[in-house]
Amino acid sequence: MPKDELKAEFRLVGTRPNRPDGLDKVTGRARYGADATLPGMLWGAVVRSPHAHAKIVKIDASKALALDGVKAVVTRADLPTGLTGEDWNLQENTLAGEKALYDGHAVAAVAATSRLLAEEAARLVEVTYEVLPHVIDVDDAIRPDAPVIREGAADASVPPGMPPNVVRYLDFGRGDIDAGFAAADLVREQTYKTEATHQGYIEPHACVGQLGADGKGEMWVCTQGQWYIRKMCSAVLGLEAAQLRVTPSEIGGGFGGKTTIFMEPLSLALSRKAGGRPVKIVMSRSEVLRATGPTASASMDVKIGMKKDGTITAGRAEFRMQGGAFPGSPVAEGLYCAFAPYAIPALQHIGYDVLANRPKCAAYRAPGSPMGAFAVESLIDEMCRELGLDPMAVRLKNAVREGDTASYGATFGSIGLIETLEATAAHPNLAVPLGPNQGRGIASGFWFNHAGETSVTLAIGEDGTATVSVGTPDIGGSRASIALMTAETLGIRYEDVRVNIVETGALGVNEPTHGSRATFASGKAAVIAAEAAIREMCNRAAAEWGIEPEAVEWVQGAAQPAGPNAGKFPPMSIAEIASKMGGTGGPISGHHESVPDGFGASFGAHVVDVEVDPETGRTTVLRYLVVQDAGRAIHPAYVEGQYQGGAAQGIGWALNEEYIYGKDGRLQNTVFLDYRIPVASDLPPIDTVIVEVPNPGHPYGVRGVGETGITPPLPAIANAIHAATGVRLRHLPMTPPKILAAMKTKG
């Protein structure tokens, strides 16, 4: 559907009502992962490796089991064998087998009658290790003589002769790369590095699992995806998916990090061994930082050719990413996103997924994209300065448009990069004069967005209200936006729709809330389900009036004859139809399940002003602007919230956050005091502009908004620091000592 045919006037879409879960969340009533208690419940605790790489010689749990109140100990010997591929990876990460692969890797788990007792018992489990050489940094891990983390982990993409820790290799591109560089007036190549960061959700992982000897189980868990928990736990433990019922709690942040399993299978395995008593496991912050989540670290070579007028003629990116001791770093996504905002005729991308002795990386907001953007957007800025070009004009000049073939091969549908850049250029923040030691940086960012398996049911209540059952946990206000779209479609009040996030038994399989998909995919499915319910309500009215269903239309929450020829009947409201549905054919609902098509790609641009203290090297963010295309903002306040939250995470990644390892391969910063995420006093107000280039693939024009916002801050801040100081930082984070050292070197 052409975008100008999409409806643009709405009763509810685009308003800012109170979120339906607001009251629970400001009163402490909302129940999160650690807030559930069950009769007979035990507590679990996990024994973790203190070594980065070690052979597990022996596990002796006799002292732990001798304690009164200790009910079960689980080791890898209690899990099924014979798993392959990602199932094996998940099982190996759940509990180490022959080797501990990183500091914090789970080795055993215990269940006892109290949390303190379980922790005490975990300390009494004696594990004998034979310490092996380890490797942490990605550039060290890719060396031919690096300690080998796992033989045979490489997939078929890796050519013979590659270093042993390379497990995936990518090589793709288009055009004549040599001719492209030859056509340029300026060719520059630089190397950039980003360090691993953690999603940093404030709620640690928590679950209560129960599993009987009959293979039937239940779980309460904070997760972005209850079906992923079901599928992964079933695979790791050898259960039937249908026998495991997973209920998602309220979720205290995820950002991609809660789309997989960590200790969830352990609670089930412990429960089964403890006679089916439920087992609760709540991670400490140190466990969260040592053993969950982090994103990959990256080492990236980028080469760009540019003409004097700013036209980009060629681009080459060679990225090395480690995602821990398992395959799965987002190197492909990083490469796909790196040049996505630009129409460049000749491109080459090379990628290496590399193993290192670190925790298995999990998705983190636009996985891979921030790293690629840091490298490419930094180099473009460097070249603009060298050629005396306006970096905004160069971005506009090379920007991709509808119909262009993306750098990663897809064809762009309706996209809003041009509109986003134009809105950015027009923003008053760009006219604010800067003082000494201050600088301004801009950068663009991209995320594909995602649809994913989606199943939604809508049921009309006896009073004409509506219940929507969705499978995507509400991580940032999606219940409000889905209720708005449903109410808009049905023609009823926002307050008359209740959106529930339901357990795995209640719907078909849903992918998690990830990829910026929940408001797009669950929202689209809810609208289609509402339309199905409307058709049925029109049928009921038609039957009562004795006219054809096609002669009935739905207007403002009521059935009415479609035009004067259809017959003369007063409108029949949803409440009236619902009140008598038991006698007119039974319950009325709508259901939709699909992998919805038409998710629209997302672009954003950020502008940041910083001041760098020449004596300390400390960077203060003075003002910050996020401009991003939302397609259509259903609830603008929560769209702004996504923009602001993404920017804040990106600011942390750029300036301060990193995984710091000692020479022994142990993580050094395992509490929030040392792994310091931005606090309120670190940040300025974050200004936002919502650009709306409606996505024709969604009934209200929605495109996902969650992820793009973390991408531009990394290069935008590097570019601003360069503008303020004249020094170019190519290795994140840009901490005061690094900036100071660079300024001293420059002199």
The one-character DSSP state at 60 is: E
Taking the complex as a whole, the smallest distance from the CB of residue 673 to other proteins amounts, in Å, to 5
Least Å from the CB of residue 588 to other proteins: 32
22 vs 571, beta carbon nearer other proteins: 22
Select 32 or 129, whichever has its Cβ closest to other proteins: 32
CB-wise, 427 or 535, nearer to other proteins? 427
Closest CA to 622 of 612, 634, 635, 636: 612
Task: Report the distance separating Cα 266 and Cα 105, nearest Å.
Answer: 13
Least separation, in Å, of the C-beta of 435 and other proteins?
Answer: 18
What end-to-end distance do the CA atoms of the chain give, in Å? 58
Least distance to other proteins, CB of residue 27, Å: 6
Kindly state the DSSP code that residue 367 receives in the 8-state scheme.
T
Q: Does residue 633 contact residue 696 with C-beta atoms inside 8 Å? A: no
Which residue lies nearer to other proteins by CB, 2 or 685? 685
Cα 196 to Cα 26, 368, 720, distances in angstroms: 33, 11, 22
Task: Return the number of the residue (22 or 508) whose C-beta is nearest other proteins.
Answer: 22
Alpha-carbon separation of residue 566 from 354, 490, 545, 584 (angstroms): 68, 22, 10, 21
Question: How far apart are CB 494 and other proteins at their closest, in Å?
Answer: 14
How long is the chain? Answer: 747
Residue at token pair 């990193």 = 658
The distance of closest approach from Cβ of residue 589 to other proteins in the complex, given in angstroms and rounded to an integer, is 29
Contact 303, 187 (CB under 8 A): yes
- C-beta closer to other proteins: residue 87 or 120: 120
User: Residue 590 carries which side chain, given as an amino acid letter?
Assistant: G
Whichever of 20 and 180 has its CB closer to other proteins, that residue is 20
Closest residue by Cα to residue 100 from 356, 357, 321, 327: 357
Minimum CB–partner distance for residue 405 and other proteins (Å): 35
Q: Which is nearer to other proteins, 44 or 645 (CB)?
A: 645
* Cβ 685 to other proteins shortest distance, Å: 5
Considering the complex, state which of residue 89 and residue 649 has its C-beta at the smaller distance from other proteins: 649
Q: Which helix (H) or strand (E) holds 131?
A: strand 126-131
Spatial separation of the C-alpha atoms in residues 460 and 462, rounded to whole Å: 7
Judge whether 154 and 167 are in contact, CB under 8 Å.
yes
Contacts of 310 (CB under 8 A, 6+ apart): 384, 387, 389, 393, 394, 397, 398
Least distance from other proteins to the Cβ atom of residue 669, Å: 11
Distance CA 368, CA 320 (A): 11
Beta bridge partners of 58: 128
Closer to other proteins by Cβ: residue 202 or 242: 202
Query: In whole angstroms, how close is the CB of 680 to other proteins at the nearest point?
Result: 4
As measured in angstroms, the least distance from the Cβ of 671 to other proteins is 5
At 573, list the tokens: 């409201």
Nearer to other proteins, 24 or 60 (CB): 24
Closer to other proteins by Cβ: residue 121 or 379: 121
| Smallest gap from residue 130 Cβ to other proteins (A) | 32
Q: CB-based contacts of 519: which residues, under 8 Å, 6+ apart?
A: 478, 481, 482, 634, 702, 704, 705
**Closest CB to other proteins among 243 and 429?**
429
Cα-only R_g, the chain: 27
The minimum distance between CB 678 and other proteins, in angstroms, equals 8
219 or 475, CB closer to other proteins?
A: 475
DSSP per-residue letters across 464-477? S-EEEEESS--SSS
> Which CB atom, from 35 or from 377, has the smaller least distance to other proteins?
35
Considering the complex, what minimum distance in angstroms separates the CB of residue 247 from other proteins?
16
Write down the least CB distance from residue 711 to other proteins, Å.
15
* Cis preceding-peptide flag for 359 (omega within 30 of 0): no
Closest CA to 585 of 542, 540, 531, 544: 540
Applying CB under 8 A, the residues found at the interface with other proteins are 16, 18-19, 21-32, 34-35, 37, 114-116, 199-204, 250-255, 282, 284-285, 475-477, 635, 637-638, 640-641, 644-645, 647-649, 671-673, 677-683, 685-686
Q: Which SS3 state, helix, strand or coil, does residue 44 take?
A: strand
Residue 318 backbone dihedrals phi, psi, to 5 degrees: -125, 110
Q: How far apart are CA 334 and CA 351, in angstroms?
A: 9
Alpha helices in 491-558 (DSSP H): 523-545
Q: Would you call 442 exposed, middle or buried from its count of C-beta atoms within 10 A (0-12, 13-18, 19+)?
A: buried
∠ CA(100), CA(106), CA(109), 5° rounding? 135
CB nearer to other proteins: pick between 164 and 477:
477
CA distances for 686 relative to 406, 417, 428, 437, 565, angstroms: 30, 20, 14, 21, 56
Burial (Cβ within 10 Å: 0-12, 13-18, ≥19) of residue 175:
middle
Smallest distance from the beta carbon of 480 to other proteins, in angstroms? Answer: 9
Q: Which is nearer to other proteins, 32 or 569 (CB)?
A: 32
- Residue 359: CB atoms within 10 A of its CB come to 27
Smallest distance from the beta carbon of 603 to other proteins, in angstroms? 20
Closest approach of Cβ 473 to other proteins, in Å?
Answer: 10
The alpha carbon of residue 252 and the mean position of all alpha carbons in its chain are separated, in whole angstroms, by: 14
Contact residues for 680 (Cβ-Cβ < 8 A; gap 6+): none
Nearer to other proteins, 513 or 725 (CB): 513
Element holding 167 (H helix, E strand): strand 166-174
